[in-house]
Amino acid sequence: MNESKVVVGVGPVTFADVVAVARHDARVSISPDALDAVAASRVHIEALAEQPTPVYGVSTGFGALASRHIPHESRTQLQRSLIRSHAAGTGAEVEREVIRAMMLLRLSTLTTGRTGVRTETAQAYADLLSAGLTPVVYEYGSLGCSGDLAPLAHVALAVMGEGHVRSSDGALKPSAEAMAEHGLTPVTFAEKEGLALINGTDGMLGQLVLGLTDLHNLFRLADIAAAMSVEGLLGTDRVFADDLQRLRPHPGQAVSAANINRMLAGSAIVASHRGDDCTRVQDAYSLRCAPQVAGAARDTADHARAVAERELASVVDNPVITLDGRVESNGNFHGAPVAYVLDFLSIVVADLASISERRTDRFLDAARSHGLNPFLADDPGVDSGHMITQYTQAAIVSELKRLAAPASVDSIPSSAMQEDHVSMGWSAARKLRRGIDGLTQVLAIEVLNAARGIELRQPLTPAPATAAVIAALRRHVAGPGPDRYLAPEIGAAVELARTGALVEAAEGSVGRLS
């Protein structure tokens, strides 16, 4: 278990906090001030629970059943029934990192003192995270409105000591058994608590934070891949000049162009056709417009990050306890703000992959590769070279285009028309995760082909930065030669892309890329 710790309740949870807990198993504690705030808000709930007037979430049923007043003796059963009935997910298990991020974000809302839970309930979430016990959550069940209901209910079910969890080593165990092994006690929920545990956008938000973290690496890799393709395809670097970029002052575009310029600095290949004797007038759009596409992707991600940071600072529950002690219904659980940007990012992912595939295709077409062998083959005809790598890219890109269709424009009413407009933000988050995985593979394949194309330009030498990326790749994948079993080589390149090793290799030569 990682000995680093994230303290919840001293301000909004940050991106770094989410990554530390979700991916690096950081332990979690609650600040003393936050525990005091939780205890103070609970006083209001307990006072309202004694009143004869029905209060939603405290002494009533839920959703379309909110009109029924629940007597004292049935309220523990009410909370237990809520969680059991809402833990209705199905499909494949959700990834551990997503569940841990979701738990941390729900805990963050609980510790604001605006939800009315007891301190022991909030502490149970921190304890489960610190013990490395991850509730089993399933793929389908959230409509992204009234919170990520089914996913969060599966988490709350485990806190009750029911359902199953996976330990830090991945072993599947009954929740009560795993908690006992770690000295933890299941929680019996009191008034309002069941509702407070499931009425959040935490699942979709956690996936947004993790997705933006991954895209930070992939945006830099996209610039690296574009630079390698420009170099290997005998493109010009003049179009990336700063004064040309400033004519259209989108900030992301300037960043991308600067990165590409730094990657190409000192390239003998680029210098070889920079003179007046070069007869080429313009490069294809997939080369010349790389900063415009990757820059727009960055700017879209910046907007998404602003939305995520606002959401991280939010209290998402219904009803909430106001500062003056009122219990008020609201609509803050609606996932539209998060759902929209998740969909925007799926468009970004699809388009970055699309332009990358077009650059790869140019390497493989002898009519457009400016002197390279067809399909980068060693002995064309006998060898097929990298022909089918483009097929692999094309299959992924086609999938990403389908995933770019927005989930947030769909809405299927639920709860007997009480919940008659929903965000589908969870679905938007799930397809973004698949999209990011696809983009990683597509960019890795471009690097694989660009490296081979650059090496086939010998004796001309590449830029130091692109040479460093090729060297990192060659430690795992052999250079040009007769046909080989390609799937393991693609897999190795994808892993280097996923871990950030290709970006690190470039930055080892030119310094931190933006």
Residues marked as catalytic: 56
Instruction: Tell whether the torsion through CA atoms of 84, 426, 15 and 336 is positive or negative.
Output: negative
For residue 372, give the amino acid letter. Answer: L
Residue written as tokens 């600072």? 313
What phi and psi values does residue 228 have, to the nearest 5 degrees? -65, -35
What phi and psi values does residue 405 have, to the nearest 5 degrees? -65, 125
C-alpha span between 457 and 463 (Å, rounded): 12
CB-based contacts of 279, cutoff 8 Å, min separation 6:
none
User: Is the bond preceding residue 462 a cis peptide, omega within 30 degrees?
Assistant: no
C-alpha span between 394 and 137 (Å, rounded): 32
C-alpha span between 292 and 138 (Å, rounded): 38
Strands 90-93 and 138-140: antiparallel
Q: Other C-beta atoms within 10 Å of 226: how many? A: 32
C-alpha span between 258 and 282 (Å, rounded): 20
The CA-based diameter of the chain, rounded to the nearest angstrom, is 91
The alpha-carbon radius of gyration of the chain (Å, integer) is 27
